[in-house]
Structure formats: structure tokens, C-alpha cells
Structure 1
Amino acid sequence: MALVSSDYRFMYADIGSQGRISDGGVFRNSSLWQKMNSDGLNLPMPSPLPGSNKDTPYVFLGDGAFALDTNLMKPYPGKHTSGSPQRIFNQTLSGSRVVVENVFGILAARFRIFKKPISLAPEKVSIITMTCILLHNFLRRSETSASIYTPPGTIDSCDNFGSITQPGSWRNEVVGNYALRPLNQIPRRSSLNATQIREEFTSYFFNNRQYMVSQQSRL
């Protein structure tokens, strides 16, 4: 399990959990979850979204494998009508989570050991994985090394709505067949406060999407 930033670097990684442990169990046993629930991450104080006077917390984005939390937003489950607030919220999160897909895709494309299951002891696999993550971050750190490690065209290009307009070249190298697997989606109940926070973001994304569509129609 890992946390990545918008500049395509790893911020946190939990490696080596046993496969028999549920995805939610991996997260809840991680130091990241413990710090999130004890205010130990030094996140900025909640502040209003543009056009609002209600404080909203800073949040991480996750997929359906995680439980909705006050600091962790995930998509609405199920299918929703095109143009509905829930559909737009899900599309917005999906566009942001493309960054995560690119980070793992680049890692698999550049470090080819991830193109198939690694036949080594779990302890050695953990060391190899963390080493590759550290090298990835190091090579993404400066503009010079990043231009060599991930030259133009490597990363997906997206429009204002988060839809991929030009797939990154890493997709041609891994062809979706690599050893890093997505987490399973498991329904979980969410707290009322977390649900209300998601509704605040949903309203903001919906109103902002309507404005962006109206602006584009004038071009």
C-alpha cells in the first residue's frame, strides 16, 4: 500500500503485509492510519472551499478498497446518472487517481522486476521494492534527472475534467500486465461526518464543473 503526491512521487509505503490480511486491515495496521486518527500528520487546518464559508478538512484520495473517513475521500459506490453530482464527484476523483496509476505504472516500466511475480523470500522482496521506490523518488526529485527518467510523453496527459487525452508511453511498456495488483473493493460503512464532508466536496465539484462547461462552450 502506498501514498503518492501530485508530482508523481511516493510519500508513504507499507510493504510486506501478508496476503491473508484484508486490504482494510493492511491500512488500519499501518502507521499512516494511526497518525491520521491521532492528528499526527501535521495536516493544514480545515479551511473553506472556494465560494463557501464552511471549513472543510484537507483529505487524501482513495478507491473503493478503503473506508470513507474525515480525511479520506473515496468514490460513491454503484452507477450514477450522467451529469449527476455523484457521477461528477466520481469522475473528479478518478481523474486525480490517474496520478496514482501513473506512479505505479512508471515504477513497473522502469524497474522491470515488477513485470512478473518476484520469486524471492518476502523479506528480500520488501527490500527490493523499497529500494526501487527510493530510487524512483530520487530520480523524480530534480528537473534534470526527471527529464531523463520520465521524458516528455511518459506520463498521461489529461483534460480539465481528468479524462486521459494522450496515454503515457509507460502504458506501452507494461501493457497492463505487471505484478502490482489493485486492492479489492469491499463495502464499508462510513461515519456521518465523513459522509457530510464528501457531500461538501460533491457540491463544490458539481458547481465548478457546471462553470467549466459553460466557459468551454463559449470558446
Structure 2
Amino acid sequence: MPKPSEEVSETVEYHVLADGGFAQSTLMQAPFNQAADPIKANFNRRFSGASSIIENVFGILAARFRIFDQSMQGLPDNIMLLRSACLVGLFSSSQ
């Protein structure tokens, strides 16, 4: 999980989106099973939309940068830095 930054004074909540194979937890959000409740059904619709966007982004990244096609070996901080650089490159080229 991201480490808190000393430069940012406010706390920003984040959640990890997971598919239905994972259980709900404090940080991990998965869709509700058989969501008859309108609030849960709305959550599932929004969750599905967010999941589609995330899958599209990873598809674009995998097509552009081969490192996303396979597991990476190395120090976790170095891998996160490399992946972050790829994301910055992707977003800066789309602007």
C-alpha cells in the first residue's frame, strides 16, 4: 500500500477493487453477491464501471509496455518506481 507523504497534510482514503473471488475487508472492495438492495445494486453498477476502466488501462499499458505482461523480479520499491514511470509516460502522452 502507498506510504503516507510528508508533503500532504490531509488523509486520502483508498480501496483496492477486487473481483467476486475475494472477500470484503476494510481496504478491499468486491461486488455484493445477489444485490437485491437498491444501494448494493447501485454499488455493483458503479463497481463494474470502475473495473472496466481499470481493465482497459491495464490493457493499454500491457500493449505499450511489455513489463506488464509478466511478473517482475526485483526490489519492490524499484518495481513500483518503474511501473509509476510507465503510468506517467502514458498519461503525459495522452495530454
Q: Provide TM-score, normalisation by structure 2.
A: 0.60
The CA deviation at 1:122 is: 3.5
Query: In structure 1, what is the Cα distance between the partners aligned to 2:25 and 2:56?
Result: 20
Partner of 1:77: 32
**Stretches of structure 1 lacking an aligned partner (at least 5 in a row):** 1-25, 38-59, 69-73, 142-219
Percent of paired sites with the same residue? 27
Report the equivalent of 2:26. 67
Distance 1:77 1:30, change over 3 A: farther
Unmatched 5+ stretches in structure 2: 19-23
Give the Å deviation of 1:66: 5.9
Counterpart amino acid of 1:77? F
SS at match of 2:17: coil
> What do the CA deviations read for 1:64-102 (whole angstroms, capped 9, x no partner)?
56637xxxxx55533324xx5122431232123311221
Shift of 1:62: 5.3
More strand by share: 1
Larger radius of gyration: 1
Aligned residue number for residue 144 of structure 1: none
Cα RMSD (Å)? 3.3
CA distance in 2, matches of 1:97, 1:61: 13
Name the residue aligned to 1:95. Answer: 49
Q: State the number of aligned residues.
A: 85
Equivalent in the alignment of 2:94: 140
SS of equivalent residue, structure 1 residue 67:
coil
Q: Which one has more relative contact order, counting CA pairs under 8 Å at least 6 apart?
A: 1
Structure with greater proportional helix content:
2
Cα 1:89–1:103 change in 2 (3 A) is: same
Partner Cα separation in structure 2 for residue 123 and residue 63 of structure 1: 22
Aligned mates of 2:76, 2:31 — CA distance in 1: 35
Paired residues of 2:32 and 2:44 also in contact (CA < 8 A)? no
Counterpart of 1:126 in structure 2 is 80
CA distance in 2, matches of 1:134, 1:66: 30
* Aligned position for 1:36: 12
